[in-house]
Amino acid sequence: MTIPSRFVRQCEFCGCELDIRLEGVHQFASGWVKNRDGGGGHGISLRKSEDRWAHRQCVEEKSKGGFGQVRMFT
C-alpha cells in the first residue's frame, strides 16, 4: 500500500522510509530540565517537537546501545 507523501519520513537511524501515522513511531522532541540541588535533574514538560522521526524498533535498538549509542543525543 502506498503511503501518502505527507505522512512519509526517513527514519533518523536506519534511513528507511516510515509512515508517521503508525502506532509506535517516535517523534523527536526537546524540552527543559531543572537542575536539582542534590544533583540530577527534573524534566519539565514544555515540549518542542521537530520533524524528525524513527521506527519504534530503531529507537529501542539505539537505547540498548545499538547504532553506536554515542550519537544518540547529537
Predicted pLDDT at 24: 95
Predicted pLDDT at 41: 87
Question: Is 47:37 a contact under the CB 8 Å cutoff?
Answer: no
Predicted pLDDT at 69: 46
- CB contact set of 28 (below 8 Å; sequence gap of 6+): 12, 49, 50, 52, 53, 54
- What residue ranges do the domains of the chain occupy? 5-67
- CB contact set of 10 (below 8 Å; sequence gap of 6+): 16, 17, 18, 53
Model confidence pLDDT, tens digit, residues 31-52: 888 888 888 888 887 889 999 9
The greatest distance separating any two alpha carbons of the chain, rounded to the nearest whole angstrom, comes to: 53
